[in-house]
Amino acid sequence: MPRRKPPWLKHLCAGRLKARKCEGCREWVAVDEQGSVWEKYDPGILDAHDLATAIILKRGFTRIIRHGAGGLFSLQDPCGARGIDPDGEYLAIHQCHRIPISVKPFKPPRRRAAERWNPNIRLSDEEVRLFTRLWRRPL
């Protein structure tokens, strides 16, 4: 019986990935539609312990590379031992009618107001004049 859609799947599938039901087994997967070959991933996040299980079971996986604190990320396929980091986060390639290796939710980073903008920045009069002159300069 297919599982229900994980509530956190919308955070994982906000950009490049799309949440879909697998055509073969009707389970929820994250589909990478970039390029000519579409990849399907189990939505659970693999950590270091799950990564060892994926390697033993010969299941493919890809690494999640986070960019800044804004929640943006990209996917990178590791090549052998290169690109594998015990502190990294990974997605296992989906195989129909196989139990997912992990069901851990994807947690986007939390941003605090202090990280977005530092209101204590002070500019000198010379820096303000330089900025104003450059801003008004025609291209």
> What ranges do the domains of the chain cover?
9-108
Banded pLDDT at 130 (limits 50, 70, 90): very high
Task: Read off the pLDDT of each residue in 125-138 and give the average, rounded to a whole number.
Answer: 91
> Chain-wide mean pLDDT for the chain?
82
Chain segment 101-123, per-residue pLDDT in tens: 888 888 876 665 555 566 677 88
Query: Are 34 and 16 in contact, with CB atoms under 8 Å apart?
Result: yes
What does DSSP assign to residue 96? T
pTM: 0.69
* pLDDT given at position 10: 81
Query: Are 43 and 31 in contact, with CB atoms under 8 Å apart?
Result: no
The encoded tokens of residue 94 equal: 């989906």
Banded pLDDT at 39 (limits 50, 70, 90): confident
Task: Read off the pLDDT of each residue in 43-69 and give the average, rounded to a whole number.
Answer: 85
First vs last C-alpha separation in the chain:
62
